[in-house]
Amino acid sequence: MKSLIVLLCGLIAATAVHLPGVPVDFELEDKVLSAISDDVAQRLEQEYYTFLKTGVETPAFQKLTQQLAKAHTKKDIFTKNLPDLETRDSFVVCTLCRSVINVFIRSVREEGGELNGEDSAVLMKKIAMDVCRRMELQTEEVCEGLIDFNLPTVEYIMHNSEMDSHSFCSLFMEVSFCNTGSNPAYNWTLTVDGKVPAPTGPKSDTPTHSANDFQICQFSDIHHDPLYEPGSLAACPEPLC
């Protein structure tokens, strides 16, 4: 029975990678989806690490990256909340997170790893940008902006913790099948001071409205584009369009 289950999972994983879009097989239990994601992530990690070491792109590496690039939407990943993504988008995001973080971990923590030196941030960005291009995630401008914003945090975690890819991706992946981190070091308990009485009503010192009150209109999050022209293209692959 165990061999049969392993065989079925292997067939499902193969289907998930070799078919564009979302196969029907993705409507599975979280633990099965997580196992499929792990399988693809491990293969991608090994292929990418080989490419990183040798500069050689194997046919398996090319095929795997091309198929993953066709398996996701472009805008939704960056404009929707993670729980609202289609299954195919959630699968690709989770799988890429696990594989890329595993490449970072091996390159940072293994003796002689490429990311051990002072230029680790530069090389991390180079790897992340390469993944962005290969997987056709977004335009280079969008990817570079996101990478530059998040890279210092990722680099610090890689160098100063023993966090694995499951725990790392569980930090922000609000998708049940990807949220599998179980490191006990990240289970925190906060003690709440129960001596302070709970509020029973609004504050008594809040001023009441009067005829002398000012009315203020606040515009927030304003973006000024000096190159904008009325009637210009509003539909493009980038999230802000």
Q: Does residue 204 carry a pLDDT above 80?
A: no
At 200 the three-state DSSP class reads coil
Write down the pLDDT at residue 10: 37
Write down the pLDDT at residue 182: 63
Residue 231 lies in a domain: no
Q: Highest mean pLDDT range out of 70-74, 115-119, 145-149?
A: 145-149
Question: What sign for the dihedral angle of Cα 231, 234, 235, 238?
Answer: positive
Q: What is the DSSP string of 120-174?
A: HHHHHHHHHHHHHHHHT-S-HHHHHHHHHHHHHHHHHHHHH----HHHHHHTT--
Q: Render pLDDT for 91-111 as a digit per residue (tens, 0 to 9).
A: 889 899 999 999 998 888 777
Q: Render pLDDT for 157-168 as a digit per residue (tens, 0 to 9).
A: 888 888 888 888
Q: In terms of pLDDT, which residue wins out, 118 or 98? A: 98
Residue 50 lies in a domain: yes
Write down the pLDDT at residue 113: 67
- 49, 99 Cβ separation under 8 angstroms: no
Question: What range does the domain containing 16 cover?
Answer: 2-184
At 209 the three-state DSSP class reads coil
Q: Please tell me the total count of domains within the chain.
A: 1
Residue 146 lies in a domain: yes
pTM value > 0.85: no
Calculate the average pLDDT of the chain: 79
Q: Render pLDDT for 7-23 as a digit per residue (tens, 0 to 9).
A: 323 333 333 334 333 34
Chain position carrying tokens 């499929």: 36
Residue 235 lies in a domain: no
Residue 92 lies in a domain: yes
The Cα–Cα gap between 94 and 40 comes to: 10
**104: its two tokens:** 């970072």
Residue 240 lies in a domain: no
**184: its two tokens:** 């006990």
CA nearest 36: which of 58, 18, 50, 52? 18
At 61 the three-state DSSP class reads helix
Residue 42 lies in a domain: yes
Residue 101 lies in a domain: yes
